[in-house]
Amino acid sequence: MDRTKDSPDVRQTILIIDDEKDVHYSFRRLLEREPLEILSAESGDEGIKMARKSMPDLIVMDIRMGQQSGLDTLKELRQMNPKQVVVMMTAYGTSQTAIEAMKRGAYDYVLKPFDIPQLKDLLFEALAAARAMKQIVAFPTKLNAEETGQTIVGNSPAMQQVYKLIGQVAPTSTTILITGESGTGKELVARAIFQNGSRATKPFIAINCAAIPENLLESELFGHEKGAFTGALAQRIGKFEQCDGGTLFLDEIGDMPMTTQTKILRVLQEGEFSRVGNNQSIKTDVRIIAATNKDLWQAVQRKEFREDLFYRLNVVRVNLPPLRERSTDIPLLVGYFINKFRLKQPTGPSQIADEAMAAIQRSTWPGNVRELENCIQRAMVLASGNTITLANLPEEISRGARATPALNEPPKPVFSAAVPTTESAPATATAAPAPGTDSGKAALAHAVETLFHFARSDKQFKLLPAAERELIVRALAETSGNQVQAAKLLGVTRATLRKRVDKFGIQKRMAID
Ligand SMILES: Nc1ncnc2c1ncn2[C@@H]1O[C@H](COP(=O)(O)OP(=O)(O)OP(=O)(O)O)[C@@H](O)[C@H]1O
Ligand SMILES: [Mg+2]
């Protein structure tokens, strides 16, 4: 399992609840090198108190603690927070109780004594599931990202369409198909839909259909009965049962085998399924969000994907265009990633040379935003000064080996700043500007230049009021109408902002307190 991919930006917390001191010791040893905070509770009651106080990302709990049943504690924990991810620990021979726990919403269970690599994989998978539910994904029309959040960055018309669609479909329970090349942000969009929908307080579980062996996928999704196939030693509860009322993200659905597709179609049409090895129907109320980087229609033509399922999924389709088709988003993304990595590496570079940005904009980015993100992360580590230069980029990008001919003359970045000319730093740089800094002042100078250019050519253009109004509207939009935050962003007091809002007659619905 690749744990570095999309790794967490914040330290996650695990709470271990077990009455055996040895177990606490083992977990601390097992996870001591991981960037995790580990909390311990020795009884169910103590665990509940701790969970209420610390809101851990993951709880690992013994199913039996002295007289106390872990199942009762689980019930209380899930009532407190229906999205709490809980992994139960159980001894051999008590798997029926473990199954009961899964029916009550446990994420999974592990058998004691532990198979260490398997346990570690499960813990990281559960932590990723918790992160997917918790980490806020904001998009520009609804900027509410908390400190730990992620933002879908991009202002291109194509991305604006995407935000609009997310806003429209999120509150419904409609099935959604998200398409787009690898690394275009499909998972991010799936989480944004979940978080902005009516099921946001219920679980969100992601299944990567391509990563699970064909013969195990059905049992993962629908569960199985004991003895349903060789190796089915006990009954297992599938994700459709576990996730009842919530959202199931079927990632890489283009890789789903035909037989499983038939069963998904049944869920979509009739809202029911059966466990493998049992004909009994089970009702389920799960919202499906599917994603794929394959051309599903072509797969239908090749008879690899069911046509009826395609139509069912394709009712609402969110298509994420490849990065090379929205190169105007690239400077924004670069600035976002620089700022993001500076949180982890505060002494890292804060700006990028214009020629480096130009090379980035010329590149075709087959790995899309993920590849760009990795490229910036790498460049920040390699850069020696305050500026990312051409030399810090991979050769195929700096030399233009992957450049698109159409993009040979990329638009000049909006913010251009003079930086001290050293051997490694070129004459100009595009910065993630901060007010008061040299690059901030230079960015302002550049913007002023552009505005005067317009003012000279258009006599109707009332420069000062127009610019002031535009800045206020923008600040309010960016803070979802929060005047305190908008005033802070603009560097004025709230009273001053209020006066301006009144003076310009900016719509009150934008300027909410
Ligand atoms: N518009 C965006 N703004 C900010 N970050 C983005 C954007 N799009 C993608 N990313 C980041 O790029 C990485 C890849 O995104 P994601 O995993 O959502 O892609 P994907 O389309 O699901 O890719 P794959 O098909 O390979 O699974 C993630 O780290 C994500 O946070
Ligand atoms: Mg993905």
DSSP codes of every residue in 248-305? EEEETGGG--HHHHHHHHHHHHHSEE--BT----EE---EEEEEESS-HHHHHHTTSS
Q: Which ligand is nearest to the CA of 185?
A: 1
Residue given tokens 């638009």 in the structure block: 411
More confident residue, 281 or 111: 281
Tell me the pLDDT tens digit for each residue of 183-228. 999 999 999 899 888 898 899 999 999 999 888 999 999 999 988 8
Q: CA 344, 348, 353, 355 torsion: positive or negative?
A: negative
The pick from 143, 332, 369 for probing ligand 1's pocket by mutation, whose C-beta has the most ligand atoms within 8 angstroms, reads 369
pLDDT of residue 436: 47
Structure tokens at 406: 């159409």
Does the CB atom of residue 6 touch ligand 1 within 6 A?
Answer: yes
What are the backbone dihedrals phi and psi of residue 394, each rounded to the nearest 5 degrees, phi first? Answer: -60, 150
pLDDT at residue 346 above 80? yes
Does the CB atom of residue 293 touch ligand 1 within 6 A?
Answer: yes
| Ligand 1 centroid distance, CA of 372 (Å) | 10
Burial class (CB within 10 angstroms; exposed 0-12, middle 13-18, buried 19+) of 94: middle
Does the CB atom of residue 84 touch ligand 1 within 6 A?
Answer: no
| Through-space distance between the first and last CA atoms of the chain, rounded to whole angstroms | 46
Beta bridge mates, 283: 272
What are the backbone dihedrals phi and psi of residue 369, each rounded to the nearest 5 degrees, phi first? Answer: -65, -35
417-418/428-431 β-pairing: antiparallel
* pLDDT band at residue 413 using 50, 70 and 90 as cut-offs: very low
Does the CB atom of residue 322 touch ligand 1 within 6 A?
Answer: no
Full-model pTM: 0.66
The pick from 188, 296, 326, 341 for probing ligand 1's pocket by mutation, whose C-beta has the most ligand atoms within 8 angstroms, reads 188
pLDDT of residue 419: 24
Indicate which residue's Cα is closest to atom 23 of ligand 1: 183
Does the CB atom of residue 183 touch ligand 1 within 6 A?
Answer: yes
* pLDDT band at residue 92 using 50, 70 and 90 as cut-offs: low
The pick from 370, 373, 376 for probing ligand 1's pocket by mutation, whose C-beta has the most ligand atoms within 8 angstroms, reads 370
| Ligand 2 centroid distance, CA of 235 (Å) | 30
| Ligand 1 centroid distance, CA of 365 (Å) | 13
Contact present, 405 and 360 (Cβ < 8 Å): no
Residue given tokens 């532990």 in the structure block: 114
Q: How far is the CA of 422 from the CAs of 389, 427, 428, 433, in angstroms?
A: 11, 9, 11, 20
| Ligand 1 centroid distance, CA of 345 (Å) | 21
pLDDT at residue 336 above 80? yes
pLDDT at residue 319 above 90? yes
Residue 135's closest CA among 147, 122, 148, 124?
Answer: 148
Contact present, 15 and 51 (Cβ < 8 Å): yes
Rounded Cα–Cα distance for residues 212 and 488 (Å): 48
Does the CB atom of residue 254 touch ligand 1 within 6 A?
Answer: no
Tell me the pLDDT tens digit for each residue of 171-181. 888 999 999 99
pLDDT of residue 472: 84
Least confident of 147-151, 242-246, 264-268, 343-347: 147-151
Q: CA 168, 320, 12, 250 torsion: positive or negative?
A: positive
Structure tokens at 238: 């599938």
